[in-house]
Structure 1
Amino acid sequence: MNRYHVVAALLIGVLAFNEAHAKRPNVIVILTDDMGYADLGVTGGSQILTPHIDQLVADGVNFTNAYVTASVCCPSRAGLLTGRYQQRFGHEFNNFAIPTEGYTADDMGLSVDERTIGNAFQDAGYVTQCVGKWHMGGGSKYDPSWRGFDEVFAIEAGHRSYWPYPGNANRSNRIQISATELLPEEQVTYLTDDLTDAAVEFIGRHQDDPFFIYLAYNAPHGPLHGKEADKEFYDSISDSKRRTYAAMMKALDEGIGRVRQSLVDRELDQDTLIVFANDNGGATSNGSDNGPYRGMKGSKWEGGIRIPFCMTWPGHLPGGFSFDAPVSTLDILPTTLAAAEATYQGLPLDGVNLLPFIADPTSGPPHDALFWRRGVAAAVRMGDWKLIRVEGNPDLLFNLASDPGEGNDVASDHPEKVTLMKRRLAEWESELAPPKWTEGEKWSRNQVLKHQMHVQTRQQERKYP
């Protein structure tokens, strides 16, 4: 029996399991924030220890060509939460800054016409929780409590202090614990630990119910706040920024370990599908490392959009299995719903159910093309080929199979490929809605500058957030 037959047999077991058990699988989607691609042991890192995340990946399906829908936090999360390219509903930019013509500040958030993964699991009879960074807009209509989550322990803004604020803090930076209530700031200990506690406590209260958790850690997004003991653990790292980042990664890894252990302690580990992903590449400001990949957060280079990504479900999905075709965080919603045998009720999805492709990787890739756009910069991947198109810059073409670091632009050697891929990109763009807000000239200028071929070193990349 070859490995494809083994995988198929395991997935047949998933279906048999669902038929034989009244309790459907729990689902936990864990999302990290601004983590460097190479800052895990499983992705080649050696300086920072991540034993719990490494084990999570080793126990499941490791997607080696995985992507987010945007290289910055807010639109990337909008794509994941809806299973749809966020540009379809005008959610193209990161910072809620400047409403475009025809829109107001009240329109700057996740469109109320879109249904979230939380809504989908509520429809399926699951109890749902949103923990951590929300970043989907301010005001009640964008509140996670009204967007598919029965319980929340969430932060409206894109970041906050990991420590309690000493004075008055903006409401958007506070931790929301219901539609109307905020956590008293003096109850904050260390943010990463508090988010873990909230998820573990929810698991304990709902261990007899099918549950869905969206656990969106802020770490290791700035501000760079690490526990002193964890910084001391990494005192061999001379760069202070990198040392604090490593300390934040230590708390993150231990938190994920605690979540998994809570499932084991309650004999829920065989009944729980865990998805792990990062929201974009390592940031220019936090000491992260994207390893072999060019570019960082904010770019269409691989370092901006390529992420660690795995799905782990012991006994039901194959452990130690690598899936090499390109996939997207768009696929999280349809795949997890399929595992729960739930029906999606919403607008057409761009993501696909990955379970049949895992069962038979020889059946072809889940996507014939993946697309990205934020303002002046856009990209498309088709098979091994990737095109980057930026206003004011030459079109760039790379073969990722032979050049994963995107160091050799071959556009002039393959004009027919450039034409084809630009046409596919234009066809996709013709389906999109106009952006509801923009960010300003600084961010457009940085998009142009960071995608020039001469910007190659990490030091140069960090100049253009």
Structure 2
Amino acid sequence: MEKLRCLIVFLLVVSCLPTSVAQQKPNIIFLFCDDAGYADFGFQGSKVMITPNLDKLSREGVKFTQGYVTDATCGPSRAGLITGKYQQRFGYQEINVPGYMSENSKYLGDDMGLPLDQKTIADYLKKLGYKNAVYGKWHLGNADRFHPLKRGFDEFYGFRGGARSYFPYKNFNGVHHDNKMERNFGNFEEPKGYATDVLADEAISFIEKNKNNPFFIYLAFNAVHTPMDALDEDLEKFPNLIGKRKEVAAMTLALDRACGKVLDKLKELGIDDNTIIVFSNDNGGPTDKNASLNLPLSGTKSNHLEGGLRVPYLIKWPKKFKAGTVYNYPVSTFDLLPTFYAAGGGDVKDLEDVDGVNLIPFVDGSNEARPHKYLFWKKEARAVCRDNDWKLIRFADRPAELYDLSKDITEQNNLAFQELERTKEMFKKLFDWELTQERPLWMLKQQFEKYDIDRMDRYRTPELVKKEMEKYQKSEQNTTTIKN
């Protein structure tokens, strides 16, 4: 009888082990916004935007002052982060928007998507026992073969394309199928409310269902991308703003509210200490489209000045990272895949040919080196090489520019002609990197390249940006910040 009791106890312990081990893995939630301005959050210095929940996340986590994306536009940026590598290496150099592409492209329409031989964050985390969900904007291919449920995710509620209304469509006349809200695979279901709030509710439902198992949520808000849709009650919070600036402020408030609901649910369930929270943005704000503000950075979405590439970037992991940490070395969104994989217990040596690095030892101080000596960006003839704090920008229509970002964050003092040898060496380094790439699978019509250059010149200096913003404000200095 004693042996039988011991056997029963042993079997019970063994049967519980997988659950115990699984629950030690941290949950992971990636809060990803769209087209937000670098300066448009309280934790980034805004005195106008109302973002108490994200400000709190910044205080409780790690703030990266030099967080970058892999591209200055939506689709390629997402391709880089979800694969952990430079998307140019598999030909994903341009955005994938039907109607904008050159007819000479190899792939067009629904054939444009994340190549099927590329593994995603969700693919890797699934191997570690994670349940994976994506809510919101996909923008990595409209065809069924590119669908999130075929790329490692277990649940999806969102839209496959790049932009849509924040309110439910009353009918689908003229609405492309990739902009309809879809539940899992092929079940179109419009949101019962304002999309930003609804996406947060979907994430909360998933958390409640999976609170006893490790999960990964990619919460890809379309806020604050156009169209400029805002709730009346949110607009009322900004009486001193007008036009697009008022609308983007209201949309940012809704974004912060949605993030706060998710964070509050983690705390309510008692799993916040064992959850990694990341907040970032897909590219710089397009000031001309949504009145977003990237100051003190110059430039906007779609160009290679810092305002197009540098984004807000926060990570909170109470079990590992000290609250209130500020990290000043450059990091990229393609670092998230190896970081998440390592956090989940995976060996980063198993990752297939990624460019990102596991940020954990750099953030916790066990590795004091820079995560990256070099970083690169490219779109057609335009390209960037960053070597430590030096940044070289190559153009098609003008001489190259060289900046020392440690002294010139606004990129006003071009040192290319004073530092000729450095410029030459960085050109060579950029070319060496380009030799590792595939030819682009599709290309934008050439007219959009001129648009990107014109947009860059329009927002080339902080003075030009400030002048542009004057038309959106009554008296922004006197705006009262309302705390929730």
Does TM, normalized by the shorter one, top 0.5?
A: yes
Task: Give per-residue Cα distances to partners, 1:336-370, cap 9 Å, x unaligned.
Answer: 11111124655300000011111227631011100
Q: Does 2:170 correspond to 1:163?
A: no
Relative to 1, partners in 2 of residues 1:217 and 1:140: Cα closer, same or farther, differing over 3 Å?
Answer: same
Q: Does 2:182 correspond to 1:176?
A: yes
Determine which of 387, 390, 397 is the counterpart of 1:392.
397
Relative to 1, partners in 2 of residues 1:249 and 1:454: Cα closer, same or farther, differing over 3 Å?
Answer: closer
Q: Does 2:148 correspond to 1:144?
A: yes
**1:131-280 counterparts in 2 under 5 A?**
131-168=135-172, 169-183=175-189, 185=190, 187-237=191-241, 239-280=242-283
Relative to 1, partners in 2 of residues 1:188 and 1:173: Cα closer, same or farther, differing over 3 Å?
Answer: farther
CA distance in 2, matches of 1:179, 1:108: 19
CA distance in 1, matches of 2:243, 2:252: 14
**1:28-67 counterparts in 2 under 5 A?**
28-67=29-68
Name structure 1 gaps, 5 residues minimum.
1-17
Report the Cα offset of residue 442 of structure 1: 1.5
Contact 2:131–2:154 (CA under 8 A) maintained in structure 1: yes
Q: Give the partner amino acid of 1:206.
A: N
Task: Give per-residue Cα distances to partners, 1:164-194, cap 9 Å, x unaligned.
Answer: 11221321111111112111x3x43101011
Q: Sequence identity of aligned pairs in percent?
A: 38
Contact 2:284–2:294 (CA under 8 A) maintained in structure 1: yes
Contact 1:78–1:91 (CA under 8 A) maintained in structure 2: yes
Contact 1:30–1:216 (CA under 8 A) maintained in structure 2: yes
TM-score (ref. length: structure 1): 0.91
Q: Give the partner amino acid of 1:40.
A: F
Q: Give the partner amino acid of 2:333.
A: T
Q: Give the partner amino acid of 2:244.
A: K
Which residue in the other structure is 2:77 paired with? 76
Q: Give the partner amino acid of 2:24.
A: K
Report the Cα offset of residue 263 of structure 1: 0.2
Local SS of the residue matching 1:285: helix
Name structure 2 gaps, 5 residues minimum.
1-18, 470-484
CA distance in 2, matches of 1:128, 1:21: 14
Report the Cα offset of residue 315 of structure 1: 3.3
Q: Give the partner amino acid of 2:410.
A: G
Report the Cα offset of residue 375 of structure 1: 1.4
Task: Give per-residue Cα distances to partners, 1:233-278, cap 9 Å, x unaligned.
Answer: 11121x2211111100011001101000000000010110011111
TM-score (ref. length: structure 2): 0.88
Task: Give the ranges of 4+ consecutive aligned residues of structure 1 lying more than 6 Å apart after TM superposition.
Answer: 18-21, 459-462
CA distance in 2, matches of 1:271, 1:44: 29
Contact 1:377–1:448 (CA under 8 A) maintained in structure 2: no
Relative to 1, partners in 2 of residues 1:139 and 1:454: Cα closer, same or farther, differing over 3 Å?
Answer: closer
Which residue in the other structure is 2:124 paired with? 120
CA distance in 1, matches of 2:323, 2:49: 23
CA distance in 1, matches of 2:313, 2:453: 28
Contact 2:298–2:460 (CA under 8 A) maintained in structure 1: no
Report the Cα offset of residue 20 of structure 1: 7.6
CA distance in 2, matches of 1:447, 1:257: 34
Aligned residues: 442
Q: Give the partner amino acid of 1:174.
A: K
Relative to structure 2, which stretch is displaced further, 301-310 or 451-460?
451-460
Relative to structure 2, which stretch is displaced further, 104-113 or 271-280?
104-113
Q: Highest CA radius of gyration, 1 or 2?
A: 2
CA distance in 2, matches of 1:216, 1:161: 15
Report the Cα offset of residue 99 of structure 1: 5.8
Q: Does 2:374 correspond to 1:373?
A: no
Relative to 1, partners in 2 of residues 1:213 and 1:63: Cα closer, same or farther, differing over 3 Å?
Answer: same
Relative to structure 2, which stretch is displaced further, 449-458 or 35-44?
449-458
Q: Give the partner amino acid of 2:185.
A: A
**1:88-107 counterparts in 2 under 5 A?**
88-96=89-97, 97-98=101-102, 100=104, 102-107=106-111
Q: Does 2:430 correspond to 1:425?
A: yes
Contact 2:26–2:343 (CA under 8 A) maintained in structure 1: yes
Report the Cα offset of residue 138 of structure 1: 1.0
